[in-house]
Structure formats: structure tokens, C-alpha cells
A and B are shown apart, each in its own frame.
Chain A
Amino acid sequence: MNLYIGSLILVTVLGAVLFHILWTRRAVPSFSIQDLVTAALFCSLLYIAILPFKFGLSRVPLIQSFFFSIPYTATLFIGIRLIPRAGTATLIICGHSLLAQTISSGINPLWWPYALLASFILELYFLATGNYLGSMKNALGAGFLRGLTVYLYFYCFSAPFIWHQFFAPWYIAVQTAQGIAGSMIGASLGLYLSKPIISATRYGGI
């Protein structure tokens, strides 16, 4: 429980750092209704994109991280490419988490730090690089960071301190490596798929 509270403090500190940077750069996120509706669309898309994997390959032990992170990262990154600015990652990741909790898994605050951490890490990365998935290198870096943070947090904090389940270090390493690989593949897929979508948005009269 103490480590869970520790992780809450970590997330709060990350959030405070993020807010401070945005405040000093006068870039505190403000979303128009259109941005909010687009983010809402991506929250639903994330829910749908991972459904087949949630009940299929991702339930198979040892390979779940890999198969789960590909569609998730691809869809998330398309959303970020469509609204390339601070706050989008948080809006989509936390919105999807709330959506999934509202309609299927029940409101559970124990999962909130997980979603917030995944969002804040990406936001800080984008702020540090000054690039919102504008290049393949940036997308691969973001995918790597997402996989590393999310799976390490899950296997080192969530699993032992929330679900009281323990995993051997080699297993955590295997899962994290798979999560990183899956997220990087998802990132490149997202970047590849977002090109025709952005073209359609710009020139297709959407």
C-alpha cells in the first residue's frame, strides 16, 4: 500500500512538472469542442481496437503485452497526429480509461495512476522533443517510452501492490521487452496509417 501511495506521489510530481512547464511556456491546453469530439472519437476507437485482442491473444500468458500494445499504440498515435498539441495524449488515454470503466469495468481509482502515468510520460516526452509525432524517430521514441513505463509500472507496482501478484524479474523483463517492441511497431503503424487520414482531413473536405 505504501508503494502504491508512493506511485501516486510520483504521478502527482510528474503532473506538477508538466503543468509548470506548460504554464511557463504559456501553453496550458485549451481544447475546442471539435478537438474534444475528435478526442472522444479516439477514446471509442481505442476501446474497439483493443477488444479483439483483449479477449483473444492478449489473454495468453507470456505474449499478452506484445499483442495488446500494437493496436493500442497505433490508434493512440493516430489521434495525437490529428491533434498535435500538449494535452491530447492525456485527454485520449484518460478518456479511454474512464470510458472503459464507465461501461465495462466499473469506476476503479486503483487504475487512475496507471493511465495518468502513461499520459504524463508521453506529454513530457513531446514537450522535451518539441515534436508531436512529426517524424518516425520521434514516434519510435514515444513508443519505446510508453512500453517501458506502462509495463514496468504494471509489473513492479500494480501487480504486487494492488493485486498481490508477484512475478520473477526475468518474466518482467520479457514482458517489458515485448511491450516496448509492440509499442514501437504500433507507433510506426500509427504514423503510416495517419498519413492518408491527415491528407483526407486537409484536402478531402472533411
Chain B
Amino acid sequence: MKYLDRETFLHHLDPRAKIVLGLLGAVMIVALRTPFGLFLLFAMLLGAFGLLRPARGTVRTTAVLMATALCFTMISQGFFYGLEPRTAILTIVAPDSGLLGRITGGIAIYREGLLYGALQSLRLFSAMLLSAVIVMSTYPSDLLLGMERLGVPGRIGFLVTVSIRFLPALIDEANRILLAQKLRGLDLKGVRGGFRACRYLLPPLIIDSLRNARRIALAAEVRAFTGKKTLVRELSFSLRDWLVLGFSTTGMVLLVMFQGAFS
């Protein structure tokens, strides 16, 4: 997921409001236990994702990621469901079939586990959508500015900002080195090729990047950088931010309080 340049309601919210809403959403993902509550949270986040008007490719990627998460969660929970009653629909290793059966206590797919996995997938989908909404509607530097305003030390903000700046340069450099290694006859196919690529890529990439790092550090030091920044842009928390924060918090608290009534 990456920042999406749009003029939507979510884009205009203060990054601090989005960070706080993100934290609340993360707590909700853990606290909600009923299918109704989880579905409502998922529906709200899906609505917020739709508000961003994402490109068709992004929607397709999100759908593929969700389908993969659904499959893996259903399969893993189908195998490891431990509550009773449970109905085995396919026994792979019987409990009394040799050493493997004794160690594992038997491996089977349970119907209730598959259903539990499908329900728990809503939790994963919500986490996925929550991240997508925050990342796609907030420019990374604004997110960092918001974090700094919420009390994250300046030096940590500097560390993350510099890491973000390093990323595209590192990817370019890595591609260049890999191309050079391929031209020299390095075979990068398969798992072995992947490890070989690591071995031949990392040292030159790090050595070259360290050179850049020294240059950046020198530039910051000669300007007497202490970790405190003189900001060109200040964040402003408006009435709209307070309203969104207030309504969302109330809604979330009510949902947690009344989730039992809908179970």
C-alpha cells in the first residue's frame, strides 16, 4: 500500500486524529468477539476504504490478499481447532497411527475450525483495511510529523524519515547491482538463486549505501542538527477532527459494550 494523492474527506483529517483512530481500531480488533461486532467493524473500514476511491489495481491486490488470508486462516484453524464439539471432516493422521500420530495427537480438519477460521479472517481483513486507509490517506512525512507531535522523540522521527528516504535509492541500487551480477553470469533462479543473490548483493549494496549514509550524516552534523526540526508546515487540529474522533470513539465504545446483546 502507498499514499494515494486524492482530495477526500479522510485526506483532510489531521494525521494525529488518524493515528489515534488507528490505535482505537487496533484495540477494537482485539476486543471484539462476536460475529456481528467483527462484521460491523469490517463494514465500517470497507466503507472508509471505498471513500478513498482506490484504483482498480489496488482493489484487486487487496482482494487477492484477503482471499489468501481467508484460505490460510481457514485451513490452519480447520486443523488446530481445539474446542468441543468438533466434527472431523477429513482425518489425515489418526491419533493411533505410529509415531507421528502419537506426537501430534492426530491431525484432522474440523468443520467448526473452518467456520472459526472464516470468522477470524474478519479480524485480519479489518487490520488490513485499517492499515490501508491510514497509509493511503496520509503522506508518510505527515504521519511522522503527527507521531512527533504525539510525543515520539525527534531522533526516532529522524531515523524513520531517513529510512524512508533511503528506500527508493536502495531499491534502485539493488537492481543495478543484480543486473551487473547477472551480466557476469550469476544464476538467480530458484531458492538457491535467491540465497546466492543475497550473498552477492548485500555487501556491495551496504558498502555503497554506507558511503551515502556518511554524506547525509556529515551534512546534518555541519548544520548542527540536534534532532529538533524547524517546521515549514504546522499541523492544526480542527473542529472536524474533534468531531470525527468523538463520534468514532463513542461508536467503538458502544459497539464493545453492546456486542454481547447481538451475539
List the interface of chain A (C-beta within 8 A of B): 1, 4, 31-34, 36-41, 43-45, 47-49, 52, 57, 59, 61, 70-71, 74-75, 78, 82, 91, 94-96, 98-99, 101-110, 161-168, 170-171, 189, 193, 196-197, 200-201, 204, 206
Interface size on B, residues (CB 8 A): 73
Q: Which of B1, B73, B167 contacts A48 (CB 8 A)?
A: B167
Contacts of A48 in B (CB 8 A): 167, 170-171, 174
Do B207 and A206 have beta carbons less than 8 Å apart?
yes
Chain B nearest Cβ from A176, distance in angstroms: 15
How many angstroms from the CA of A71 to the CA of B194 in the assembled complex? 10
Residue of A nearest to B132 (CB): A106
User: B79: which A residues are within 8 A, CB to CB?
Assistant: 168, 171
Q: Are A99 and B160 touching (Cβ within 8 A)? A: yes
Determine if B228 is an interface residue (Cβ-Cβ < 8 Å).
Answer: no
Measured between alpha carbons, how far is A75 from B206 in the docked complex, in Å? 10
A104: contacting residue among B1, B19, B162, B199, CB under 8 A: B1
Q: Write the residues of chain B forming the contact surface with A, with a CB cutoff of 8 angstroms.
A: 1-2, 19, 22-23, 26, 29-31, 33, 68, 72-73, 75-77, 79-82, 103-105, 117, 120, 123-124, 127, 130-135, 140, 143-144, 147, 155-156, 158-160, 162-164, 166-167, 170-171, 174, 191, 194-195, 198-199, 202-203, 205-207, 209-214, 216-218, 220-221, 225
Report whether A40 and B159 are in contact in the complex, using a CB–CB cutoff of 8 Å: yes
Q: How far is the CB of A112 from chain B (nearest CB, A)?
A: 10
- A39→B220 CA distance, assembly (Å): 15
Q: Determine the distance from Cα of A4 to Cα of B143 in the docked complex, in whole angstroms.
A: 26
